[in-house]
Amino acid sequence: MNEFDYIEKFFRPLTNQYANNLKNDAAVFKQKNSLDLIISTDTLAEGIHFFGNEDPKDIAKKSLRVNLSDMAAMGAKPVFYNLSLSIPKEQANTFIPKFVKGLEEDQGIFDLSLIGGDLTSSLKYINITITIFGETVSNKSLPRDRSKIGDHLYVSGILGLSKIGLDNFNSDSKDFLVAKNKYLFPQPRIKLGMALVNVANSMIDVSDGLVQDATHLAKNSNLSIELNLCKIPTPKINILDQKTILKSALYGGDDYELLFSCNPSHKHLIEKISLDLNIRLTKVGVFKKYKEEFLKFKNNSSKPKNSYLHF
């Protein structure tokens, strides 16, 4: 099969009316006047973001979900996406059908469709780039730069699981099963992001580690964050010491939880949202006037470190 055969057989069934059956060079979407179109792009590279020997279906789900998390962080409802896939020729026939099955399943779960993209061969490694599109009511998307002095810093879920899953991916211990599933299948907090549109002042998803992403919120608002290490929501894994678990929570990436600031007066509303969506929301810090550094630990003299950086 050539690339056009693969597109016709596997990818065209994933599309919606805007893609015009992938007959054109680009999709056409007539935007509604009352809505803003939210756009984000992420690339996943073999050897960096995934091993390459995972089930292609699982790789597809992770590729789509990390992009969906960007929509959640903006408070947007995802509507469609573009996909560019580069893959060695000898892997195409076995990889693509399973990969598409994963996309199809998650399209059903998260209610969005493919509208276009590109399929090419590569010399050695698989590379996946997704551009995702979402919608918010005009001027209601959540930025990273509107935190206020006195705002509380909240995070959803539990932190550190994905890093622990990655570090112990080849372990047969049942103690790491939940962590490995978190690494393979991040849970984009779409409903939570949309629920926070009129509540949060700033928001980001935790893709590069709590410390690094919290620093982004502080820096963009020209404020400091006092982070309470005693309040960080961490998993209980009996065969790991607490120091290792906390380090994974602070500096490990790929948790894809939502980190947001809000006025203290919204405490009861946050509690209601947490209850309604059955998602744990934990206050982990406070925004203060900027002084010397963007992030410091409460009652702890140790200095925050850098999380993973590509360059």
Domain boundaries, given as residue ranges, for the chain: 3-137, 152-297
Q: What is the pLDDT of residue 100?
A: 97
Residue 187: half-sphere exposure toward Cβ, Cα within 13 Å: 15
Q: What is the pLDDT of residue 2?
A: 65
- What is the per-residue DSSP string for the chain? --HHHHIIIIIGGGB-GGGGGGTSSS------TTEEEEEEEEEEEBTTTB-S-S-HHHHHHHHHHHHHHHHHHHTPEEEEEEEEEEEEHHHHHHHHHHHHHHHHHHHHHHT-EEEEEEEEEESS--EEEEEEEEEEETT----SS---TTPEEEEES-SSHHHHHHHTTT---GGGHHHHHHHHS----HHHHHHTTTT-SEEEE-SS-HHHHHHHHHHHHTEEEEE-GGG------TTS-HHHHHHHHHH------EEEEE-GGGHHHHHHHHHHHT--EEEEEEEEE-BSBSEEETT--PPP-------
- Contact criterion met (CB below 8 Å) for 195 and 262: no
Residue with the bigger pLDDT between 14 and 72: it is 72
Q: What is the pLDDT of residue 151?
A: 98
> Does 26 score more than 80 pLDDT?
no
> Does 28 score more than 60 pLDDT?
no
- CATH number, span 3-137: 3.30.1330.10
End-to-end Cα spacing for the chain = 37
Of 129-133, 223-227, 280-284, 303-307, the one with minimum mean pLDDT is: 303-307
- CATH number, span 152-297: 3.90.650.10
Residue with the bigger pLDDT between 124 and 18: it is 124
Residue with the bigger pLDDT between 58 and 2: it is 58
> Does 131 score more than 90 pLDDT?
yes
- Contact criterion met (CB below 8 Å) for 245 and 239: no
> Does 3 score more than 70 pLDDT?
no
Residue 30: pLDDT band with limits 50, 70, 90: low
Instruction: List strands edge to edge, sheet with 35-45.
Output: 35-45, 127-137, 77-88, 113-122
Q: What is the pLDDT of residue 307?
A: 63
Is 152-297 the same fold as 3-137?
Answer: no
Q: What is the pLDDT of residue 269?
A: 97
> Does 187 score more than 70 pLDDT?
yes
